[in-house]
Amino acid sequence: MKRVNGPWCGRTLGHTLPHGDDKGLVLPPKVAPIQVIVIPVPFKDADTTAIKGACESAVYTLNQAGIRADLDARENYSPGWKYSQWEMKGVPLRIEIGPKDLANKQVRIVRRDNGTKVDIPSTDLVEQVRVLLDGIQVNLLETAKAKRDACIEIISTWDEFIAALNNKKLILAPWCDEEEVEKDVKARTKGELGAAKTLCTPFDQPDASGKPAQKWSFWGRSY
C-alpha cells in the first residue's frame, strides 16, 4: 500500500449492520428481551387444556434455567398469526406444542435466524435450547462480520476514495489525523447523500510508511 500525500489523508467509520430481513427483526439472543416464545397449537378436537399445560410447563422450566421465555396463550389469534408477529419482533426461538408433540412428549423448535425446525424430547428442552441460542448468537455475529467485510474497500488515492464513496463502501484509508483535513474532505464531498467523514479508527492498523499519513481510518457517509 503506497503512502498518501493527498489533502484527504482522516479517522474510521463505525459501520452498524442491523439484524433483520423481510419478516422483521432478527435479534441476537444475548440482547433479546424474550429469547423463546412458546405457542400452543390446538388443532380441532385437541385437548387444549393439556396443550396449554405443557406450554406453561415449558416456559416455567426455561425461566427456572435462566432462559427468558414467555407464553402466547391468546385465544383470539391463530397460531400462524402469532408466528408472524413474533418473527417480526425478532424473538430468536419459537416453540410450538400441539397434539402430536404432546403425544410424542416433544416440542417443535423454530429458529428465527434461518427458519430451521427441529423436534426435540421435552426432557432435553433446556439443554437443546441453550445450544440453539448459542448457535444463533454465533451465526448472527459471523453473518454481520461477513457483510461488513464485503463493504470495506482499502484505497490509496483520491480517485479511488471518490469511487468507493459513490459505491457506498466503508473506506479504509491512511490520513494525517488533522481536523482541517477532515473539514476539507467534508466540503469536497458534500452532496445530496451527505458529506464523507471519519467515524472510528480500527485497533488493527495496516502497514503504512512515510509521511504525512499517521494512521489508517474508516471513512464513509451516514445514510
Structure confidence by residue, pLDDT tens digits, 54-108: 999 999 999 999 999 999 999 999 999 999 999 999 999 999 999 999 999 999 9
95 burial class (0-12, 13-18, 19+ CB within 10 angstroms)?
A: buried
In 3D space, the residue among 192, 155, 168, 193 whose CA is nearest the CA of residue 8 turns out to be 155
Each residue's pLDDT tens digit, 129-167: 999 999 999 999 999 999 888 889 998 888 998 889 888
pLDDT at residue 104, as a whole number: 96
> What confidence category does residue 223 fall into, taking pLDDT thresholds of 50, 70 and 90?
low
CB 40 within 8 A of CB 98: yes
Is pLDDT at 208 greater than 80 in this prediction? no
pLDDT at residue 177, as a whole number: 81
- Higher pLDDT: 206 or 117? It is 117
pLDDT at residue 215, as a whole number: 81
Q: Kindly state the average pLDDT of the residues 118-137.
A: 97
Each residue's pLDDT tens digit, 25-47: 999 999 999 999 999 999 877 88
In order of start, what are the domains of the chain with their CATH numbers? 21-143 (3.40.50.800), 150-220 (3.30.110.30)
* Beta pairing class for 197-200 and 117-121: unpaired
Distance in angstroms (rounded) separating the CA atoms of residues 189 and 195: 5
